């Protein structure tokens, strides 16, 4: 913590120098680093203050035999435990891009409407988790299912350690349940793949030859708004040498959609290069080498019993509803410990 305080003081002095904003990109990077360090230092100082305050309250409650103060102390201990749990998770984020925003893509597997509905359930789960973490989310691209659900969706998750958290979700997710789309009430198994890559900042550049790109425009398929479906504002970019395809239809202009699609392509190409360089999975690609149908990272069983189990860490819970409502932190924490 002393080292972090020294770093924070140096960055603070740097921001006060004349001409600090002359180089905007560098200034923004310093400001971002300053903000992260400030949050870390102030967070720990607040936790120590909470401990000292609660110890005094506990001593007072014992002396006065004050039941109301005892209740207050008990509530404070729960709050401190939750705060420390978050801090413990953040101590595990040591990857190069853990602080970055995350680009999350969900693809429904084979199985038609059943699999597409499962992709939609996963999308809701991640949106609820992001909301609980105070992260901002933007749906960059959405392809609706034929009858229900989602064929594919790409979400930008913006927040502190977004990629650090979300990289635990990369892989195949398997659902077992009585299908609501089967009139005979049979049990179905569905799969969906989740890809997670970091949103790269300006410090990383990837050379992309415009001649190797095929850029297509099409009309946004989303619903609502006068602008949607009336202009060819959506963008699809195909990188011909690798076959990577990215698309964006969230922004209101073709120019904005192209800029975001290029950011996504840059991140995908950087991710691909990292995979080539790594003989085994590393901090960026997670368990990507294991992505294949039938090699799921996590199973969600709703019938004949109720259990969600992570096959990497063996962490499991019977509280299915809570997890599907976004309570993913226990799985994320165990994954990070397993990675360590």
Q: Which pLDDT band holds residue 204 (cuts at 50, 70, 90)?
A: low
What are the structure tokens assigned to 108, written together?
A: 């429904």
pLDDT score at 116: 94
The domain ranges of the chain are 2-91, 102-203+294-339, 210-277
Among candidates 136, 161, 126, 134, which has minimal Cα distance to 336?
A: 161
Cis omega (within 30 of 0) on the bond before 304?
yes
* Within this chain, domains 2-91 and 210-277 share the same CATH topology: no
pLDDT higher at 207 or 316: 316
262-267: average pLDDT: 89
Q: What does the mean pLDDT of the chain come to?
A: 86
pLDDT score at 227: 37
Least confident of 232-236, 293-297, 332-336: 293-297
What share of the chain in percent tops pLDDT 70? 91
In this prediction the pTM is 0.77
Describe the crossing of helices 329-339 and 67-91 by its angle, rounded to 10 degrees.
50
In this predicted structure, the answer to whether residue 253 has a pLDDT above a threshold of 90 is no
205-211: average pLDDT: 83
pLDDT score at 259: 87
In this predicted structure, the answer to whether residue 297 has a pLDDT above a threshold of 70 is yes
In this predicted structure, the answer to whether residue 221 has a pLDDT above a threshold of 70 is no
In this predicted structure, the answer to whether residue 179 has a pLDDT above a threshold of 80 is yes
pLDDT score at 74: 94
90-94: average pLDDT: 81
SS3 296: coil
94-118: average pLDDT: 89
Among candidates 35, 74, 292, 316, which has minimal Cα distance to 171?
A: 292
Which CATH homologous superfamily contains domain 2-91?
A: Release factor (1.20.58.410)
What are the structure tokens assigned to 3, written together?
A: 């080292």
pLDDT score at 280: 45
- The topology (CATH level 3) of 102-203+294-339 is Alpha-Beta Plaits (3.30.70)
Contact (CB, 8 A) for 139 and 194: no
pLDDT digits (tens, 9 = 90+) for 9-54: 999 999 999 989 888 878 888 888 898 889 889 988 999 999 999 9
Strand ranges, E, within the chain: 102-108, 136-144, 150-158, 171-178, 187-198, 213-218, 234-239, 244-248, 298-301, 307-310, 316-317
CATH architecture entry for 210-277:
2-Layer Sandwich (3.30)
pLDDT score at 28: 83
pLDDT score at 203: 63
SS3 103: strand
Q: Which pLDDT band holds residue 231 (cuts at 50, 70, 90)?
A: low
Q: Which pLDDT band holds residue 255 (cuts at 50, 70, 90)?
A: confident
Strands 244-248 and 234-239: antiparallel
SS3 168: helix
278-300: average pLDDT: 59
Of 240-244, 272-276, 279-283, the range with the highest mean pLDDT is: 240-244
88-96: average pLDDT: 81
Long-range contact pairs involving 230-236 (C-beta distance under 8 Å, separation at least 24): 233/257, 235/261, 236/261
Phi, psi of 174 (to 5 degrees): -115, 135
174-179: average pLDDT: 92
What share of the chain in percent tops pLDDT 90? 49
């Amino acid at each position: 913590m002393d080292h972090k305080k020294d770093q924070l003081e140096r960055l603070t002095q740097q921001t006060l120098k004349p001409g600090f904003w002359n180089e905007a990109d560098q200034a923004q990077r310093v400001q971002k680093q300053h903000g992260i360090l400030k949050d870390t230092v102030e967070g720990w100082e607040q936790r120590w203050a909470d401990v000292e305050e609660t110890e005094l309250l506990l001593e007072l409650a014992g002396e006065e035999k004050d039941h109301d103060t005892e209740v207050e102390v008990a509530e404070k201990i729960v709050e401190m435990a939750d705060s420390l749990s978050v801090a413990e998770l953040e101590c595990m984020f040591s990857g190069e891009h853990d602080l970055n925003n995350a680009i999350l893509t969900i693809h429904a597997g084979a199985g038609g409407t059943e699999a597409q509905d499962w992709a939609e359930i996963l999308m809701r789960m991640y949106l609820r988790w992001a909301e609980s973490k105070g992260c901002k989310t933007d749906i960059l691209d959405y392809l609706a299912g034929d009858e229900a659900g989602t064929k594919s969706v790409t979400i930008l998750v913006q927040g502190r350690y977004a990629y650090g958290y979300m990289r635990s979700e990369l892989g195949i997710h398997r659902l077992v349940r009585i299908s609501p789309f089967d009139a005979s009430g049979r049990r179905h198994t569905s799969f969906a793949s989740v890809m997670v890559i970091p949103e790269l900042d300006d410090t990383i550049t990837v050379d992309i030859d415009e001649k190797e790109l095929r850029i297509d425009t099409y009309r946004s398929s989303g619903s609502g708004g006068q602008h949607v479906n009336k202009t060819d504002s959506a963008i699809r970019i195909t990188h011909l040498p690798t076959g990577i395809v990215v698309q964006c239809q969230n922004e209101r202009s073709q120019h904005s959609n192209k800029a975001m699609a290029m950011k996504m392509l840059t991140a995908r190409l950087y991710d691909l290069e990292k995979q080539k360089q790594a003989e085994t999975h590393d901090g960026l690609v997670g368990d990507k080498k294991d992505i294949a149908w039938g090699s799921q990272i996590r199973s969600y069983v709703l019938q004949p019993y109720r259990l969600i189990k992570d096959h990497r860490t063996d962490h499991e819970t019977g509280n299915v509803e809570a997890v599907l409502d976004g309570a993913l932190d226990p799985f994320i924490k165990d994954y990070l410990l397993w990675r360590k």
